[in-house]
Amino acid sequence: MNIFIDNKSGEPIYSQICTQLKNQILSGALREDEALPSIRNLAKDLRISVITTKRAYEELEREGFLYTIPAKGSFVAPKNVELLREENLKKIEAHLGEVARLAAACGLDRAELIEMFETLTEESL
Amino acid sequence: MNALELNGLCKRWPGFSLEDVTLALPAGCILGLVGENGAGKTTTIKLILNMLRADGGSATVLGQDAAALDKNDVGVVLDEAGLPQGLNPGQIGRIMSGIFRNWDAACYARYLDRFELPHGKPYKAFSRGMKMKLAIAIALSHNARLLVLDEPTGGLDPVVRDEIVELFSEFTRDADRAVLISSHIVSDLEKLCDYIAFLHKGRLVLFEEKDALLERYGLLRCDASALDAIDPGAVVGRRDSAYGAEAIVRRGAAPAGLALSPVGLEELFIFMTKGAR
Amino acid sequence: MKGLLQKEFYQLWGWWLVSLGIFLAVSTLSGTSFYAVFAILMAGMLPGSMLSQDEQCRWDSYAGALPVSRAQLVAAKYLIALILIGTAWLLACVTQAIRLGLFTREWVLYVTFSLGVGLLCPSLLLPILFKFGSTKGRVAYLIGLGALFGVVAALSVSAEDGMAFLGYLQAHAALFPLVSAALFAVSWRLSVAFYQRREL
């Protein structure tokens, strides 16, 4: 399992961990019920604070990506179709927001934008 | 359980006083104590170790009052290490085995080899870095549950410091142990600590989770007028030059158009100290 | 505790054995008992100078962070004093027995007096050093050194002189070491009380 922390990016470290673990879970790199490293071991191996890894795991558990068994550790939650869709919808929204911003910056209006999208999706189908 | 709890700790001397220091270090965590020379870091550490009597407040260490603490459980490195001059590490090891209940001679010998400290060379011939390494070897060789370290990396080059900081981090892989470290070398603390406490002129200015602290603030570079427009309560400190201004600002308080760069611990403290003056 | 005594030994033993050897050789060869008594007195001074050394290298601070009590730190110095004075005294008794004859009046007097005087020195100096530290106590240290040097000079006897003096004191000879021992014990208690109040 690879996790890369960028101290200089400005993105909170716990958030970077969450994103990377989520991606690996969704892509299948981490399988269902696979054991995740303990909060403490993850922190020590990544050379970051234990408080941060704990926060990342808590968030992932809250969002349904992992589950914890007391005294045993944390494990990848079974893939939830809803969850997958939810994540992908979030990503699409984020990308669309970026598209809208860029379009505004170069003066592209909505009609032109939709035309562009239709051309693109026609090609890929 | 908390490895360390300080409640309103005070110590008064003519010319300096430490007032109302309150913080808690949970087991399994590392607390970094930062502050300028004379801020009260060593005083705080000595109060924790019952080397000084408090004038007010309390210190609870490993669940017991500091005065009742069993120092077999505490590994200590003090600034200006304090070992007898004419003795060599071998002799010092034998002395320590007659002092600590859980002295681990094999562990000590391993650290001496790892730090390349000659067993037979007298302490007075050691460089400052070697003296620190010996004190660290002793602190790590008696199965302590709490490390209390006062400037333990002074005199060490960056490579060795990184190695030693790694050792301290490994110490708390076990959730029952904890570390309190005071240092000027803020970059070491930034790598290592879970919590940061900032002492300034005998007062505790700040006690926070390190990552939360660094997430909360950003470095803003803009022109002076834009900076003036921001709520002064959100500005930690500022530096004006002929080419503009820079300041450390709470994220969310800066106006939307201005980008904040991530701030490091050292910058944060320099700005905070200068701002406080 | 054992570790503390070991520390004192490591720091002292080589130097102490050599000094003892020199003093006793010199005293056997010379006509007076001065040098042997001086060895005993020096033995009594050594714990004080060890305390001073401890302060200089900041061991006293460091020891405050170790699992040893203030009482144990004080005990280490007093026990060392007893061991050093004891060894010097025994060897001096043996060499003076050669010179003065075993169980002669002079010898008995010498034996009791030197022990009494030897114990006196640390009893007086150590509590001062434990209370005030060696920098401030140094003045007392030097005064004590000077005073006792004078006492030794006054007490040292050659075979002919002071027979009458000896005769007078012999009646009270046994008391002196007992008084000194009592003072030593009191001094020990006092030092513990002082040191427990000290801030490091």
Contacts of residue C70 in chain B, CB cutoff 8 Å?
A: none
Judge: C57–B52 Cβ closer than 8 Å, yes or no. Answer: no
pLDDT band at C36 (very low <50, low <70, confident <90, very high): confident
What pLDDT shows up at residue B18?
Answer: 93
Confidence category of residue C159, pLDDT binned at 50, 70, 90: very low
Q: What share of chain A is helix, strand, coil (3-state, %, to 5)?
A: 60, 5, 30
- Rg, chain C, Cα only: 18
| ipTM for the whole complex | 0.87
Query: Are B209 and A7 within 8 A, CB to CB?
Result: no
Instruction: Say yes or no to pLDDT of C147 above 90.
Output: no
Q: Which of B99, B101, B124 to mutate to test the interface with C (most CBs of C within 10 A)?
A: B99
**What digits encode the pLDDT tens for the residues C8-27?**
999 988 778 888 778 777 77
CB atoms closer than 10 angstroms to residue C121: 26
| Closest-CA residue of chain B to A42 | B173
Label residue C141 by pLDDT band (50, 70, 90): low
Check CB contact under 8 Å for C4 and B98. yes
CB atoms within 10 A of CB B265: 21
Chains touching B (at least 3 CB pairs under 8 A) are A, C
Residues B49, B150: Cα–Cα separation, whole Å? 12
Region of poorest pLDDT, from B173-182, B232-241, C78-87, C179-188: B232-241
pLDDT tens, residue by residue, B1-54 = 899 999 999 999 898 999 999 999 999 999 999 988 888 999 999 999 999 999
**Share above pLDDT 70 across residues of chain A, in percent, rounded to a whole number:** 98
pLDDT band at B82; cut points 50, 70, 90: confident
Contacts of A41 in chain B (CB under 8 A): 173
Query: Which chains border C (3 or more CB–CB pairs < 8 Å)?
Result: B
Average pLDDT (B93-119) is 95
Q: Kindly report, residue by residue over A6-23, the tens digit of the pLDDT.
A: 877 778 899 999 999 988
Q: Which of C52, C40, C48, C32 is nearest to C16 (CA)?
A: C40
pLDDT at B135 over 60: yes
Break chain A into its structural domains and give their ranges: 13-76, 81-124
Sheet hosting strand B64-65, strand order edge to edge: B64-65, B56-61, B2-13, B16-26, B203-209, B195-200, B30-35, B178-182, B146-150, B74-77
pLDDT tens digit string along C81-116?
999 999 888 888 887 777 777 777 777 777 888 888
Please report which confidence band the pLDDT of residue B96 belongs to, taking 50, 70 and 90 as the band edges.
very high
Spell out a b/e string for C133-147, using b for 16 or more CB atoms within 10 Å of the CB, else e.
Answer: ebeebeebbeebbee
Pick B68 or C14 by higher pLDDT: B68
Taking an 8 Å cut-off on Cβ atoms, the answer to whether B209 and A8 are in contact is no
Question: Are B196 and B228 within 8 A, CB to CB?
Answer: no
Mean pLDDT of chain B: 90
Pairwise CB contact (< 8 Å): C59 & B96: no
Which of A22-26, B42-46, B187-191 comes out lowest in average pLDDT?
A: A22-26
Nearest chain A CA: its distance from B231 CA (Å): 22
- Give the pLDDT confidence score for residue A100 in this predicted structure: 86
Query: Can you tell me the mean pLDDT for B252-258?
Result: 73
List C-alpha distances in Å: B167 to A44, A47, A90.
11, 12, 41
B209 touches chain A (CB under 8 A): yes
Q: Do C and B touch (≥3 CB pairs < 8 Å)?
A: yes
Residue C160 has pLDDT above 50, yes or no: no
* pLDDT at residue A125, rounded to an integer: 58
Chains that touch A (3 or more CB pairs under 8 A): B
**Which chain A residue lies closest to B190 (C-alpha atoms)?**
A48
Query: B28, A40: Cβ pair inside 8 Å?
Result: yes
Q: What's the CA gap between B211 and B215, in Å, rounded?
A: 6
Most confident of A73-77, B27-31, B183-187, C8-12: B27-31
Question: What gap in Å lies between CA C148 and CA B213, rounded to an integer?
Answer: 65
- Give the amino acid at B35: G
Question: Are chains B and A touching, using the cut-off of 8 Å on CB pairs and a minimum of 3 such pairs?
Answer: yes
Mean predicted confidence (pLDDT) in A23-37:
86
Higher pLDDT residue, C119 or C139?
C119
> What is the maximum alpha-carbon separation in chain B?
66
Helices C70-100 and C175-197 cross at an angle (nearest 10°) of 160
Is residue B227 within 8 A of residue B239, CB to CB? The reply is no
**Of B25, B166, B171, B173, which to mutate for an interface test with A (greatest number of A Cβ within 10 Å)?**
B173
Check CB contact of B46 with chain C, cutoff 8 Å. Answer: yes
Domain A13-76 has CATH 3.60.21.10: no
pTM of the model: 0.84
Q: To the nearest whole angstrom, how far is the Cα of C38 from the nearest Cα of chain B?
A: 26
**Contact call for residues B145 and B73 (beta carbons, < 8 A):** yes
